[in-house]
Amino acid sequence: MTDRTDAKPRLLGINHVALEVGDIGEALAFYGRFFEFELRGRGEKMAFIDLGDQFLALIAGREQPADAERHFGLVVDDREGLRATMEAAGVEFVDPKRFDFLDPWGNRVELVPYDDIQFLKHRAVLRALGAEASRKTDAARDELRGKGIEPGADA
């Protein structure tokens, strides 16, 4: 911890996102069609999908209408391969340019490629997820450097 004159806590990242879904089993089946993942835990009304050092919580009981603009972004290692799989399964994209879709319960999800964004996972986490071959584009490296983050030779 460093000494700071500003007493406000800093935002360091996101630990998890919680999505309301209709049924936990159906939600796990839907997301399992498109993503390889490990369950961190599961109960009757909740499930936790492991994202390495973060997680996605699924909670039964969604009652609100579909999200129009509110969304969150999941980082993936093969967005174009995923696009083809999802299109073949009949998933409708809300914004194909940004790769946004609605899940069956109206949660809007954007899928972003790891290589192209300033988001940086530690090599140990990538290795544990089986994504150690992921490498940042020059543009993503420049964004990181612009924030004072040196991505390193293996990023």
Domain CATH code at residue 30: 3.10.180.10
56 located within any domain: yes
Range of the domain at 136: 16-146
Contact of 112 with 68, CB cutoff 8 Å: no
79 located within any domain: yes
Tokens of 123: 């090599």
Q: What is the C-alpha separation between 40 and 51, in angstroms, rounded?
A: 9
63 located within any domain: yes
6 located within any domain: no
16 Cβ partners below 8 Å, 6+ apart? Answer: 48, 54, 55, 56, 57
Q: How far apart are the first and last CA of the chain?
A: 26
> In this prediction, what percent of the chain has a pLDDT beyond 70?
96
Using one digit for the tens of pLDDT, what is the confidence trace for 81-116?
998 999 999 998 997 788 999 999 999 999 999 999
9 located within any domain: no
* Total domains in the fold of the chain: 1
5 located within any domain: no
- What mean pLDDT comes out for the span 121-150? 87
Using one digit for the tens of pLDDT, what is the confidence trace for 15-34?
999 999 999 999 999 999 99
